[in-house]
Amino acid sequence: MDIARSTPDFLSGGGEMGARIRAYDWSATPLGPPDNWPQSLRVTVRLMLNTNHPMFIWWGPDLIQLYNDAYAKTMGPERHPSALGQRGRDCWDEIWDIIGPQIDYVMSGKGSTWDEDRLVPITRHGQREDVWWTYSYGPIDTAEGIGGVLVICNDVTAQHLANEALKNHTKRLTQYFDQAPGFMTILRGPDHVFEFTNAAFRALIGERDFIGRPMRDILPELEGQGLFELLDDAFESGTARVGKRMPLSLHNSGDEATRQIYIDFVYQPIIETNGVVSGIFVEGIDVSEQVRAEAHLRLINNELKHRVKNTLAIVSAIASQTLRGAGADAAVKIFQDRLGAFGKAHDILTAATSATAPIMEVVDSALAPHRTGDDRFRVSGPPLTLGSKQSLSLALAIHELSTNAIKYGALSNDRGTVDIDWHETSANGEPVFTFHWKEHDGPRVTPPTRKGFGSQLISRTLTADFGADIDVRYDPEGLEVTLTAPIENLHQIDNNGDS
């Protein structure tokens, strides 16, 4: 028998599956002999056998199956080659809940389906496997209507797993970046579009809608502060740019209030394999607290210099008050005691080591070098405590006020006195701390022509450490100073953990 003459031309070729389809007894199936197949099925089978892409056909109400070599490689020995000529439901019962409705959708004339990277688990090689597919079901038309379904598909499991691994790797990197103490962000293109921000960056700048938007749109308040100019330069030159202690004024999220920060940073150009700069990797740290601490330290150092210059003058004043009308031995003893008290005040001012201190002790220690034993200081107030930073600031202020009183104020004569008191009050329903210094019976007071270092120290230090309002009044009857601060600020702790 001449096999070539008995085989329809549309079944020629097709490798293993072409041979199996030609050898199959189709007369025993609802399809009948290939010579009687409708033209649309013949064309589709011819297309399927002559492509290297996985393709599959369900035909007729029973969904009789045909497929090519490329599809056979995806099936496993459980279904290949037995799936050829088999009814679809019998072959794919384990996944019929997924594919059955899609086949019905196409066979009922509603159109085609498309699924991308979809999980359709199947049994192959003896075990149930998670398999991801990208596939389309399309109708095969006949003169009477839709005769079958053409499946064009691809097993994308390897690609899916690679993508998931990349996602997990990227997620881990993001977690690592979020745990970094410094801020990081990635900016793309000449417009510096945000691609990534870490937790430290968002905490520094504030939560905003960063991703996919240019930096100039997100942070317009930075225009003219030098940051954008450095970014543009780094991108255009392909050379890293570094900023040290750079001051920036930022708007708080949701309002127009500004805050000052200082940052150290590096703009590192991202250079692709073709040598083109595609973006900027930004890494840096917020050094605002260090800058403020350094400024405060400079203030304290200047005060120490100021105090050293005045130490001999203060000791001379103490000696003058002590030796006035006293016997030599007694005067020496009193003088030594007062110098010791002065040393204790220095200890509080320069080495506040305890977490808190009773305000009465702070005041008494600061006043000790200036007391003459004749009750010229009248001190009163409830038993409150101060943080170490607030104790130091208040001691500095009391020392400065006492020194001025000895030189120019109520303590510069024999009868002047100073009232010192503090108390808790309430303002707008919030508890408030008030500290009051009032001099009496000293020389007539006139406002100074300029603000001396001591006055600046009192104002700046107390304002910074207490968050206080300071009211200084040059009453002709005696200097009056009032400090007002939220009660919670008596133990205010800065970002370095120091109170």
Q: Where do the domains of the chain lie, and which CATH numbers do they carry?
A: 3-159 (3.30.450.20), 180-286 (3.30.450.20), 291-491 (3.30.565.10)
pLDDT at position 393 is 84
CA 448-453-457 angle, 5° bins = 110
pLDDT at position 5 is 43
Using only C-alpha atoms, the chain has a radius of gyration, in whole angstroms, of 44
What average pLDDT does this structure show over 306-327? 54
Residue type, 214: P
Distance, CA of 93 to CA of 320 (rounded, Å): 109
pLDDT at position 307 is 56
**pLDDT over 90 at 151, yes or no:** yes
pLDDT at position 258 is 80
- pLDDT category at 173 given cuts 50, 70, 90 is confident
Whether the CB-CB separation of 420 and 478 falls below 8 Å is answered with no
SS3 430: strand
> Between these two residues, 176 and 270, which has the higher pLDDT value?
270
- pLDDT category at 491 given cuts 50, 70, 90 is confident
Across the chain, mean pLDDT equals 86
pLDDT in tens, 234-250: 999 999 999 999 998 88
Q: Read off the tokens for 102.
A: 């899609």
**pLDDT over 50 at 338, yes or no:** no
Residue with tokens 């199936």: 29
> Between these two residues, 123 and 455, which has the higher pLDDT value?
123
In sequence order, what are the beta bridge partners of 386?
357
The structure's pTM equals 0.49
The sign of the torsion formed by the CA atoms of 423, 427, 429, 430 equals negative
What average pLDDT does this structure show over 34-53? 96
**pLDDT over 90 at 7, yes or no:** no
How are the residues of the chain apportioned to helix, strand and coil, as percentages rounded to the nearest 5?
45, 30, 30
> Between these two residues, 382 and 321, which has the higher pLDDT value?
382
CB environment 267-287: b (16+ within 10 A), e (fewer): bbbbeeeeeebebbbbbbbbb
CB environment 393-419: b (16+ within 10 A), e (fewer): bbbbbbbbbbbbbbeebbbeeeebbbb
Query: Which residues have CB under 8 Å from 188's CB, separation 6+?
Result: 195, 278, 279
Residue 431: half-sphere exposure toward Cβ, Cα within 13 Å: 7
Q: Read off the tokens for 9.
A: 């031309």
Pairing of strands 193-197, 183-188: antiparallel
Distances (CA, A) of 132 to 105, 165, 386: 21, 15, 66
**pLDDT over 90 at 4, yes or no:** no
Residue type, 261: I
Residue type, 262: Y
- pLDDT category at 275 given cuts 50, 70, 90 is very high
Whether the CB-CB separation of 454 and 351 falls below 8 Å is answered with no
pLDDT at position 497 is 43
Residue type, 316: S
How many Cβ atoms are within 10 Å of 486's Cβ, its own excluded?
A: 15
**pLDDT over 60 at 91, yes or no:** yes
Distance, CA of 245 to CA of 63 (rounded, Å): 74
Nearest to 201 by CA among 177, 228, 171, 224: 177
- pLDDT category at 135 given cuts 50, 70, 90 is very high
Distance, CA of 173 to CA of 168 (rounded, Å): 9
- pLDDT category at 330 given cuts 50, 70, 90 is low
Residue with tokens 């200082």: 262
Q: Read off the tokens for 38.
A: 């409708």
Whether the CB-CB separation of 238 and 269 falls below 8 Å is answered with yes
DSSP state of 87: B
Distance, CA of 115 to CA of 103 (rounded, Å): 13
Q: Read off the tokens for 317.
A: 């004043």
Residue type, 383: P
SS3 annotation, 244-299: EEEEEEEECCCCCCEEEEEEEEEEEEEECCCCCEEEEEEEEEECHHHHHHHHHHHH
For the ranges 54-68, 98-112, 475-489, the lowest mean pLDDT is seen at 475-489
User: Percent of the chain having pLDDT more than 90?
Assistant: 58
For the ranges 203-207, 217-221, 454-458, 477-481, the lowest mean pLDDT is seen at 454-458
User: Percent of the chain having pLDDT more than 70?
Assistant: 84
Instruction: Tell me, rounded to whole angstroms, the distance of Cα 350 from its chain centroid.
Output: 36
SS3 11: helix
| Cis check: omega of the bond before 81, within 30 degrees of 0 | yes
Distance, CA of 268 to CA of 184 (rounded, Å): 11
What average pLDDT does this structure show over 280-294? 91
**pLDDT over 90 at 20, yes or no:** yes
Most confident segment among 309-323, 338-352, 422-436: 422-436
Query: Which residues have CB under 8 Å from 185's CB, separation 6+?
Result: 194, 196, 197, 198, 201, 210, 281, 282
Q: Read off the tokens for 499.
A: 């109170």
What average pLDDT does this structure show over 91-100? 97
What average pLDDT does this structure show over 305-311? 56
**pLDDT over 60 at 130, yes or no:** yes
- pLDDT category at 349 given cuts 50, 70, 90 is very low
